[in-house]
């Protein structure tokens, strides 16, 4: 894993699909075997390149969903209707098929098991992927650093890694998960669907005076809204790191790392798998 921190020229490597897991009706985890993979840190991503028979290529970025494990690299891809790459990766790409990957990319949006500050993770939709890598890295390292995850999804069936998150909350100790539903709520949920707002982030996050490390990931609009909320709540912008999952369709991709990532600015409390906020939130 230490090698991941050494700057070097990124080269394309051939990866093969060895396993798949369906996370939701429209998201699939792809376990790739990448010969010679140098290792990575939780939060980093890869560039994936597809090449058609006529030489046409398409390249997209995908976050790595699990901590380093030899030559294995796990991605979770959300199918974007009418997308060029994600429908292929989620519906056509089959075990044994090759794909090219380059990485790991990104050195800022990362969590290291040696980090000691409390952690607030805020995910919108597929933005959970690199944050799940952090949750898994914490588990793998036996870290006791307190983690809070606020996970905003459209409906209950859009939750990735649902069973594992339940297990981790139960077994890991010090990990709390709060959900926010924007379009439909589970039966018996105490609130109507709503977007994540100040009250919800304040309730399910950490108070700023604990100086948590905040990681926000999701669609660009979500990330910007949450970052604004965190700063408004008094978090130091330098402790808020963001990864925006905007379209990455440029033919040349993003060789130097997360072009839309960076520090934004920063969050804060009820964390046991309950709603992300009070009935007045949002
Ligand atoms: C650093 C980084 C990490 C990423 N990690 C992941 C990840 O872990 N899992 C994942 O599923 N995606 C991730 N993405 C998004 C991914 O790179 C692609 O943008 C996405 O898969 C769509 O590609 P596509 O070729 O299917 O769609 P395209 O052909 O590029 O786009 C088709 C249409 O969908 C719109 N669109 C494109 N991307 C999105 C999007 N993300 N959300 C909504 N609409 C979109 C486009 O504007 C266009 O109208 C990441 C992006 C970045 C920058």
At residue 256 the predicted structure's pLDDT band, cuts being 50, 70 and 90, is: very low
Q: Which atom of ligand 1 lies nearest, measured to the CA of 245?
A: 51
> Which DSSP string corresponds to 107-133?
SSS-B-TT--S-EEEEEEGGGHHHHHH
What is the rounded average pLDDT of the residues 208-213?
97
Rounded CA separation 73/16 (Å):
10
Atom 15 of ligand 1 has which residue's CA nearest to it? 245
Residue 10 is predicted with a pLDDT of 83
- Residue that has been written with the tokens 């991709």 in this structure: 253
From the number of C-beta atoms within 10 Å of its C-beta (0-12, 13-18, 19+), residue 170 rates as exposed
Determine the distance separating the centroid of ligand 1 and the alpha carbon of 46, expressed in angstroms.
13
Closest CA to 258 of 225, 230, 216: 216
pTM given for the model? 0.89
Domain regions of the chain by residue span: 2-104, 119-275
Residue 248 is predicted with a pLDDT of 62
Residue 103 is predicted with a pLDDT of 96
Phi and psi at residue 244, to the nearest 5°: -100, 130
CATH number given to 2-104: 2.40.30.10
Identical topology for domains 2-104 and 119-275? no
Residues having CB within 6 Å of any atom of ligand 1: 45, 60-63, 76-78, 80, 82-86, 126, 129, 219, 243, 245-249, 258, 260
Atom 6 of ligand 1 has which residue's CA nearest to it? 62
pLDDT at 265 over 60: no
Atom 46 of ligand 1 has which residue's CA nearest to it? 247
Q: Say which CATH architecture domain 119-275 belongs to.
A: 3-Layer(aba) Sandwich (3.40)
């Amino acid at each position: 894993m230490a090698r991941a921190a050494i700057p070097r020229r990124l080269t394309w490597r051939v990866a093969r699909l060895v396993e798949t897991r369906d996370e939701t009706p429209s998201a699939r985890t792809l376990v790739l075997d990448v010969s010679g993979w140098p290792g990575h840190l939780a939060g980093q991503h890869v560039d994936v390149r597809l090449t058609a028979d006529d030489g046409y290529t398409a390249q997209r970025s995908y976050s790595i969903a699990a901590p380093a494990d030899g030559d294995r690299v796990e991605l979770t891809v959300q199918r974007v209707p009418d997308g060029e790459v994600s429908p292929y990766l989620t519906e056509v790409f089959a075990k044994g098929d090759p794909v090219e990957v380059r990485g790991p990319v990104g050195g800022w949006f990362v969590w290291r098991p040696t980090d000691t500050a409390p952690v607030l993770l805020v995910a919108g939709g597929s933005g959970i992927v690199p944050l799940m890598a952090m949750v898994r890295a914490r588990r793998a390292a036996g870290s006791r650093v307190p983690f809070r995850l606020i996970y905003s999804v459209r409906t209950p069936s859009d939750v990735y890694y649902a069973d594992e998150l339940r297990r981790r909350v139960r077994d890991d100790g010090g990990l709390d998960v709060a959900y926010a539903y924007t379009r439909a709520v589970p039966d018996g949920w105490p609130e109507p669907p709503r977007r994540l707002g100040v009250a919800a982030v304040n309730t399910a996050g950490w108070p700023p005076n604990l100086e948590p490390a905040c990681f926000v990931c999701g669609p660009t609009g979500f990330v910007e809204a949450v970052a604004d909320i965190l700063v408004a709540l008094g978090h130091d912008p330098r402790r808020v790191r963001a990864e925006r999952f905007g379209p990455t369709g440029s033919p040349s991709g993003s060789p130097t790392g997360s072009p839309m990532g960076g520090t934004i600015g920063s969050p804060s409390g009820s964390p046991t798998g309950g709603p992300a906020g009070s009935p007045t939130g949002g």
